[in-house]
Amino acid sequence: MEKFIRGALEEEDDLEKVLKKAFLDADKALHTHLSYFNNASFLTAGTTATVAMLRDGIELVVGSVGDSRAMLCRKGRANKLTKDHTPDRKDERHRIQRFGGFVTWNSVGQANVNGRLAMTRSIGDFHLKSSGVIAEPDTQRLTVQHANDSFLALTTDGINFLLSDQEICDMVNQCQDPTEAADIIAQQALQYGSEDNSTIIIVPLGAWGKHQSSTIVYSMSRNFVSSGRWA
C-alpha cells in the first residue's frame, strides 16, 4: 500500500484522491499477482484496509474498506472516523443488489454477500467483484486539534467486536506509553474471547496523557489478565 500511496502522491495533491487511487491500484496489483498462480481459489483471498495519512502534523485523512476502523480520541471522547462496509447498511446492500448480487443472513444474524462474505468492500475477493464488492474506500478529512486530540487508533474487527470505541479511548488514556497501550488493548480483546485478528495501531497526538479518566480505578496491566468480558 505504501508503494501505491507514494506513486499517487506524485500525481495528486488531494490526499483523499491519493488514498482512493492507492486502494484501487493495490486491488489491481493483487489481482495480477494472484492470477499468476492460475488457481481460481486464490482469487477468493481478500482483506479489509484502513489507512491514515497525516500531513504537516495537522491534516488527517483516513480511508477504509471493510470493517477495520479508525478512531480519534478528542477531549477524552471517542470519535469514529470510519463506517463499517457490511451488507447491513442499506446503501451498501442496494449496490450489491444493483450488481445482481444478493444478501443472506446466517443463524447468528450476520449478513453476507452471496452467502459468502461479511463485507461489501475489500481489497481482493475477486470472485465477488461482479456482485458489487468494490475496493474504493470511503474517506474522511479533518484537522487535528493537538490541544484536544490525544491519539488516533486503527483497529481490526477482532478488537472492534468486543471493545467499544469509548472503552478503547478510556483504556488507552490510562497508559503512559502508546506501545503499552496497544498491547493492553490487544490482550484485553483476547481475554474477552476474540477469535479474529486483534490488531491495533496507536498514534499519539498533542494531548497524549492529558485526558486520563478518574473513573477507571483498577490497574489494567495487573488486573486484565484475570478479567472476563462476561463475568
Whether residue 182 lies inside any domain: the answer is yes
* Rounded Cα–Cα distance for residues 50 and 154 (Å): 7
- Specify the CATH number for the domain of residue 100: 3.60.40.10
The pLDDT mean for the chain works out to: 91
Q: Bridge-partner residues for 202, per DSSP?
A: 153
- pLDDT for res 228: 40
- pLDDT for res 16: 98
- pLDDT for res 117: 97
pLDDT in tens, 13-58: 999 999 999 999 999 999 999 999 999 999 999 999 999 999 999 9
pLDDT in tens, 51-101: 999 999 999 999 999 999 999 999 999 999 999 999 999 999 999 999 999
- pLDDT for res 80: 98
- The range of the structural domain enclosing residue 218 comes to 2-226
Q: Count up the domains in the chain and report the number.
A: 1
Whether residue 195 lies inside any domain: the answer is yes
Separation of CA 143 from chain center: 20
- pLDDT for res 192: 87
* Rounded Cα–Cα distance for residues 129 and 222 (Å): 47
C-alpha cell at 77: 471522547
Q: How far lies 49's CA from each of 24, 72, 83, 124, 191, in Å?
A: 12, 17, 12, 11, 25
Instruction: Indicate the SS3 state at residue 192.
Output: coil
C-alpha cell at 176: 503512559
pLDDT in tens, 177-222: 999 999 999 999 988 888 878 999 999 999 998 866 544 443 444 3
* Rounded Cα–Cα distance for residues 14 and 65 (Å): 19
pLDDT in tens, 109-125: 899 999 999 999 999 99
% residues pLDDT > 70 (the chain): 91
In the predicted structure, residue 229 carries a pLDDT above the cut 50: no
In the predicted structure, residue 223 carries a pLDDT above the cut 90: no
- pLDDT for res 195: 80
- pLDDT for res 196: 79
Whether residue 231 lies inside any domain: the answer is no
- pLDDT for res 219: 43
Whether residue 25 lies inside any domain: the answer is yes
What's the whole-model pTM score? Answer: 0.88
